[in-house]
Amino acid sequence: MYVLLKISEINNINNFFQLKNVWNNLLNKCEDRNPFLTWEYLFTYWKHFRSDRKLKILCIENENSNIIGIAPFRLSRYNFADMLTYNVLEPLGYRGADYTGLIIPEMQGKYIDLILNYLDKQEDWDFIYLLDVPETSILSHTIMKKDNDTFKLEVVKGALCPYISLPSSMDIFLSKLSPSFRKNLKKRLRKLEKDFRKIELKSYKDFSTVNEAMNIFFNLHQKRWTLKGMPGVFYSEDVRNFYVEVAKIFAENEWLALYFLTVDDRPIAARFGFEYNFKMYFLLPGIDPDYLQYSPGHIMHLKVIEKCIEKGITECDFLKGGEPYKFEWTSSYRRNLGFRLVNKNKKRSILFDFAIKNFRKARLDKVLGKLLRF
């Protein structure tokens, strides 16, 4: 039976607010769901960082006007060579989320076609950048097939995303670590136990409020960056306010994973993340540099992973970034992909595409020329 589908747009925060229940009901049915696609995360992000961007959430509706899919987008304006500006349709949480995607329980080619055909008739954008899409997602597999006469598709490899598939016991997990790394972990833990009476793993629930726990985490994170003469993630009050609000909302939903390694009740390391859909998402660490001799970050991970196995969590996701310390814990990784679409039917988009690529090539040639000059 042929089903008539249509798209409606949400362009203001009030209507975005009213989407909460529909949004999360759909997300719960999605195979690729993650905490960065929850209404709670994206609505809070938009509240704090919308700036001069424009909201453009596309809702797929069936013949009864029920929403059966959501594409959370925004319109951002960029400058080209300080001369021209162009508009990019991009994921609503881009640069504020490690993973992006669509909220469509039954990801079918027809839904992507519907979205692209709808956008083809719009004049408010020049490019579509779908960045930080997990390569294993259904969206990635679907959109790879969408290069056609209307849209020119380019695929860009993004960041590595290491992860640990957790076994049923800590003994099995430890046996899979390299002998040298395992030996070093035990050595550091013994030294810590020798020098301090009490070593504990605490969660945010062991503090009086989420605010208190987050401020301790901020201080631990910033302390090390300050020592390096660098700003750190939380130098900005806007960023701190965003993460505090997310932490409070996620704590209410039992999604907040904020842990502290303490020695004699003093926090020396922290790990801020999310626990969602039986997965642990490691977002940001905090380490007191006065205790680096004990490798508190590694000891912290060891104890959090042990807690995850006790709780039946199936995976620890280190998220974006191929930092060497992550690969001491695992050899497994996924990769994010980026999809760049140019509308072949819009002369403006084609000209901008040509100009941007040639400008970047000229700039690269200039840099390479300097490097290769003897």
- Per-residue pLDDT tens digits for 193-227: 999 999 999 999 999 999 999 999 999 999 988 88
**pLDDT at position 1, please?**
41
Is the pLDDT confidence value at 158 over 90? yes
pTM of the model: 0.91
Residue environment code for 29-47, b if the CB has 16+ CB neighbours within 10 A, otherwise e: ebebbbbbbbbbbbbbbbe
Q: Which amino acid makes up residue 215?
A: N
CATH T-level topology, domain 6-158+335-372: Aminopeptidase (3.40.630)
Question: Percent of the chain scored above 70 by pLDDT?
Answer: 88
If DSSP codes are grouped into helix, strand and coil, which group holds residue 76?
strand
Digit-coded pLDDT (tens) for 88-147? 999 999 999 999 999 998 766 688 889 988 998 888 888 899 999 999 998 898 888 765
Helices (H), 196-295: 210-227, 237-252
User: Where are the domain boundaries for CATH 3.40.630.30 in the chain?
Assistant: 167-313
321 vs 161: CA distance, rounded Å: 6
Residues pairing with 337 in the sheet: 133, 157
Helix and strand totals (H; E) in the chain? 11, 12
- Cβ atoms of 275 and 257 within 8 Å: the answer is yes
* Sequence-ordered list of residues with C-beta below 8 angstroms from that of 352, at least 6 positions apart, any chain: 80, 84, 86, 126, 127
Q: Pull the structure tokens for residue 183.
A: 């030996």
CA distances from 311 to 65, 167, 204, 279 (A): 41, 12, 17, 10
86 vs 164: CA distance, rounded Å: 40
Question: Percent of the chain scored above 90 by pLDDT?
Answer: 72
If DSSP codes are grouped into helix, strand and coil, which group holds residue 352?
helix
- Cβ atoms of 21 and 38 within 8 Å: the answer is no
**How far, in whole angstroms, is CA 156 from its chain's centroid?**
17
CATH class held by domain 167-313:
alpha beta
Using only C-alpha atoms, the chain has a radius of gyration, in whole angstroms, of 23
